[in-house]
Amino acid sequence: MATRNNIARVAVKAKPCQKQAVSIVPPTWQQTILMALAFAQDSLERLSSAIATDKDWGDSDVEADVCLSMDLVLERIKEMRANPPAEVALFEREWYESASIVNLCVRVFSRTDTYYFRCLESVKKLFEVFADAVVFVDREGRCGT
């Protein structure tokens, strides 16, 4: 029994679609670094704007310290975007230093039921994932796989 698609194909004398295999070129470690930095900058900028949605935000010492620390991380990421590291090892050092600041901020921020805290945790996870992604891409590139 002819299906509607087959009837249409016969009417216009079209050949069935032949999907062609496409070779996918994996990203370079440099491209992965640039993507990680762009994603981190965007996430950190959204984190800064999350303060405006927090009705209980009070400039306690811890909240002010967390906010200022995250601003420092954002500035560091912007600097890295302006001058990308020339080696994976340089990226890793600066990335992990920034990640350590984020980790400390997650640990000391006490209001875990807030939108700001959830955003802060997501930034922490971003730093974990992208560090591994850069190392993976670099390793794959060196292995020639």
**Domain residues for 81?**
28-143
Query: For all residues of the chain together, what is the average pLDDT?
Result: 85
**What is the pLDDT, as a whole number, of residue 125?**
95
Q: What is the CATH number of the domain that holds 114?
A: 1.20.140.40
Establish if 15 belongs to a structural domain. no
Does residue 1 lie in a domain region?
A: no
Work out the average pLDDT over 104-120. 91
Q: How many domains does the chain have?
A: 1
Distance CA 125, CA 88 (A): 20
User: Residue 14: inside a domain, yes or no?
Assistant: no
**Model pLDDT for residues 13-50, shown as the tens digit of each residue:** 666 666 776 777 778 889 999 999 999 999 999 998 88
> Is residue 17, in this structure, part of any structural domain at all?
no
Look at residue 5 and tell me if it is in a domain.
Answer: no
Residue 2 lies in a domain: no
Residue 118 located in a structural domain? yes
Q: Residues 72-98: pLDDT tens digits?
A: 999 999 999 999 999 999 999 999 999
Q: Is residue 67 included in any domain, yes or no?
A: yes
